[in-house]
Amino acid sequence: MENEILKIIDQHRNQIGTASREEVHRVGYWHEAFHCWLFSREGDELYIYLQIRSEMKKDYPNLIDITAAGHLLANETVEDGTREIKEEIGIDVSFDELIPAGVYNYSIVNEKFIDNELAYIFLYETNCSLHDFTLQREEVSGIVMVKWNEFYELWSYEKEEVIIQGFEINNEGQRTLINRVVGKKDFVPHEQSYYEHIIQAFQKIMRD
């Protein structure tokens, strides 16, 4: 995976070269990524689906994250990003079904890597149940749901913990049910402004 070839882009979003994923994160080149947040409605309640990152992941193992996301390769367009949804969680989605939620300049710097992403963000309303998800075990170990209002309150500093429900795949490949309380420390530490961007995107579709 570290040998994947990615586009390098400039501040005007023009491609200026290519580099391996390892080099991109070591040097801090700007590159493109695809983020998709799945949600569903049950009556008047809206639920957001989240993935639990596999313990095999190099970065942020076992933490809660975007439903499906990944880097766009050098030969890919944004439309090709839907492959991440199929690969990671086994759901077939057409690009035309996605709800655009803007482009976010995403930057994380820590002792392990520099991640400067131009993230193309989308929402997708699904009728799938938890039983319909097929996980790419080396990437994703579980899928959970959280109520929209609780997600909002968590990232708006109105609540310290929320309830997630779903399943994880154990080492024997069996599904085990999840029903537990989590806080911000259990999520991938994306920038607060990133979560605020996601909240605004969901608020827009709820108004519309």
For residue 71, the model assigns a pLDDT of: 95
Q: Read off the pLDDT of residues 50-104 as tens digits, 9 standing for 90 and up.
A: 999 999 998 899 999 999 999 999 999 999 999 999 999 999 999 999 999 999 9
- pTM: predicted TM-score of the whole model, two decimal places: 0.95
Q: Where are the beta strands (DSSP E) in the chain?
A: 5-9, 15-20, 30-42, 45-53, 64-65, 68-71, 99-109, 114-125, 140-147, 161-169, 175-183
Per this entry, what is the length of the chain? 208
Residue 54 region by backbone torsions, left for phi larger than 0, else alpha for psi between -120 and 50, else beta: beta
What is the domain partition of the chain in residue ranges? 5-207
Q: Read off the pLDDT of residues 35-62 as tens digits, 9 standing for 90 and up.
A: 999 999 999 899 999 999 999 998 899 9
Domain boundaries 5-207, corresponding CATH code? 3.90.79.10
The bridge status of strand 68-71 relative to strand 30-42 is antiparallel
Nearest to 67 by CA among 22, 103, 109, 98: 98
